[in-house]
Amino acid sequence: MNLIKLSTLVWIIGGFILVSSCQKDEEQSSGIKLQFDINKEVVSYRSPGDLQFTDGFITIAEVVFDGDKVGGESVSISHEAIVVYDFGTGESTPENDVINIPPGNYNDIYLGIELLDENDNPALVLEGTYEKEADGQVYPLRFEFNSGEVFEAEASSGSVTPNTPAIAKITFDPHEWFAGVSFNRLENASVNNDGVIVISETSNSAIFDLVADGLDLSTEAVFQ
């Protein structure tokens, strides 16, 4: 199992923002709800030669929260639940999964997010398009990643409000993952029988290895 530190991670996570939710449901437990998104902006290698991701999903198996409560004890929470987050809609299944955390102000926060790794199904899928210069055709592109990676984030402080879950918003930047993939490699990527460029451990594996290496590149995450 590999650890990927969000505290030093820009090529994977564009930003990690902890903010108060507008939800005022008094029956809702205090804690944190996760939200995931991807950078959907077009990246132009050339014209044609545009790469864009618009959809996909991530499947989480466990979330670990550690923090020092101001004026109190250290809190460590392990939340095991299989939750699928849709990058296109921002919704999750199940819909209202909350990591229950005692309300209060915290210092030295750590948050670890583990991908599901129980079978051959990919835990992280990105879907988009790539326009090949050779023929000017726009091809569907699908990136599949299957591993029990753990994404990590750290922050000096943060707050959990009673009866109001906070939202931890994580934005992936797949364009940064593909920064090490040259224009020529994408131009020469194989297309399957369905007309899709699949990048995985078994399809276009040389490109996959470069993108997977990008998962380890990092910069500081931000909590607000």
Within-domain flag for 177: yes
pLDDT at residue 81, as a whole number: 95
Exposure string for 115-144, b = 16+ CB within 10 A, e = fewer: bbeeeeebbbbbbbebbbbeeeeebebbbb
pLDDT at residue 87, as a whole number: 92
Calpha distance 103→80 (Å, rounded): 20
**When comparing pLDDT for 150 and 192, which is higher?**
192
- The 8-class DSSP code of residue 164 comes to B
Q: Which of 89-93, 131-135, 216-220 has the lowest mean pLDDT?
A: 216-220
Q: Quick check: 224 pLDDT over 70? A: no
pLDDT tens per residue across span 68-107: 999 889 999 999 999 999 998 889 999 888 999 888 888 8
Give the range of the structural domain holding residue 34, as residue numbers without chain letter.
Answer: 3-214
Calpha distance 197→192 (Å, rounded): 6
- How many domains is the chain partitioned into structurally? 1
Calpha distance 36→34 (Å, rounded): 7
pLDDT tens per residue across span 38-61: 888 887 776 557 889 999 999 999
Within-domain flag for 221: no
Q: How far is CA 130 from the centre of its chain?
A: 21
- The chain-wide mean pLDDT, for the chain, equals 80
Within-domain flag for 21: yes
Within-domain flag for 219: no
**When comparing pLDDT for 178 and 143, which is higher?**
143
Within-domain flag for 27: yes
Q: Which of 21-25, 51-55, 181-185, 189-193 has the lowest mean pLDDT?
A: 21-25
Within-domain flag for 139: yes
Q: Taking Cα atoms as reference points, which of 214, 189, 199, 196 lies closest to residue 13?
A: 214
Within-domain flag for 223: no
* Helix (H) or strand (E) run with residue 206 in it: helix 205-214
Within-domain flag for 7: yes
Mean pLDDT of 194-201: 96
